């Protein structure tokens, strides 16, 4: 009997096909509202860039705590820009060596896929959005200290908005925002969404990687 005829091999193939089907379904749900921004949130440093105390760093291993930060960030985004659709995934860093505490299990970081921010959110801003213009960044600068075009202004406001979450804060390397290129079309969006699903290796990972409660995958919540 060949290996490919064994029950274990057949089961493995079936599970792999099932996971691929689920990933494609999840990606298609996110692509239905055409993600515009790909955001990565890192939680390993204080707002000023210093290392976290061990008891604070341990919380970065807790998926429940990470999802709570997603919920807080979601609220900030909605207060600033309205009901922009979003999709959260959770990824774990590799184990690393800390200069003081030795080998440390990798903390989590998050990927956020965010839909288009409508122009009206900038042209007729909420009070919450207006308040971000005077928030100082890590280097002491404010948004209203520079003249920027509309597209760049959206990125600056989004950056300032997400950084209101305590776990992210002002440290520059704690947040990265990329625009998903329009000229890349469907293929670019699909590739970007699948990147956030790469740690799904078995069925249990669907609930470990995807934050269903803070993602717009079940219904289209956009107003």
* Amino acid 10: pLDDT: 46
The answer to whether residues 166 and 76 touch, using CB atoms and an 8 Å cutoff, is: no
DSSP state of 181: P
Counting other chains too, the contacts that 180-184 makes at CB distance below 8 Å and 24 or more residues apart are 180/35, 180/36, 180/37, 180/38
**pLDDT confidence of 179, banded at 50, 70, 90?**
very high
Distances (CA, A) of 36 to 39, 81, 181: 10, 14, 8
Given a cut of 70, is residue 73 above it in pLDDT?
A: yes
pLDDT over 90 (residue 157): yes
pLDDT at 193 over 70: yes
Give the residue from 163, 223, 222, 177 showing the smallest Cα distance to 34: 222
How far apart, in whole angstroms, are the C-alpha atoms of residue 223 and residue 216? 12
Q: What domains appear along the chain, each with residue ranges and CATH number?
A: 7-209 (3.30.70.1910)
**C-beta separation of 82 from 64 below 8 A:** no
Confidence band for 11, pLDDT divided at 50, 70 and 90: low
Three-class DSSP category at 37:
strand
Rounded to an integer, what is the distance from CA 169 to the centroid of its chain?
Answer: 15
C-alpha 195/C-alpha 190 separation (Å) is 9
Within 10 Å of residue 125's Cβ, how many Cβ atoms?
A: 16
Q: Quick one: CA torsion of 67, 155, 189, 81, rounded to 10 degrees?
A: 60
Q: Beta partners for 86?
A: 114
- pTM over the 0.75 mark: yes
Longest dimension (CA), the chain: 73
Residue 99: Cβ-neighbour burial (10 angstroms; 0-12, 13-18, 19+): exposed
Residue given tokens 């997603």 in the structure block: 70
On the question of pLDDT at 8 being above 70, the answer is no
What confidence tier does 158 reach under pLDDT thresholds 50, 70, 90? very high
pLDDT (mean) for 40-57: 89
Number of H helices, E strands in the chain: 8, 6
Residues 57-80, mean pLDDT to the nearest whole number: 94
DSSP secondary structure string for all residues of 65-134: HHHHHHHHHHHHHHHHHSS--EEEEEEEPPPEEETTTEEEPPPEEEEEEE-PPPTHHHHS--HHHHHHTT
């Amino acid at each position: 009997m060949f290996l490919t005829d064994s029950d274990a091999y057949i089961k493995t193939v079936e599970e792999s096909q099932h996971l691929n089907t689920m990933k494609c379904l999840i990606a298609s749900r996110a692509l239905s509202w055409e993600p515009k921004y790909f955001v990565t949130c890192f939680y390993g440093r204080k707002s000023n860039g210093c290392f976290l105390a061990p008891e604070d760093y341990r919380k970065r291993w807790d998926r429940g705590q990470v999802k709570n930060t997603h919920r807080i960030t979601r609220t900030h985004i909605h207060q600033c820009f309205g009901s922009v659709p979003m999709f959260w995934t959770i990824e774990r860093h590799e184990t690393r060596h800390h200069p003081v505490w030795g080998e440390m299990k990798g903390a989590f970081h998050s990927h956020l896929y965010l839909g288009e921010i409508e122009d009206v959110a900038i042209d007729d801003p909420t009070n919450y959005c207006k308040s971000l213009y005077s928030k100082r960044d890590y280097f002491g600068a404010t948004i209203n200290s520079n003249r920027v075009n509309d597209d760049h202004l959206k990125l600056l406001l989004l950056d300032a908005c997400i950084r209101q979450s305590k776990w992210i804060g002002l440290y520059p390397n704690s947040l990265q925002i990329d625009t998903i290129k329009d000229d890349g079309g469907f293929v670019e969006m699909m590739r970007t969404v699948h990147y956030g699903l790469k740690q799904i290796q078995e069925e249990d990972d669907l609930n470990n990687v995807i934050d269903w409660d803070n993602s717009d995958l079940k219904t289209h919540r956009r107003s």
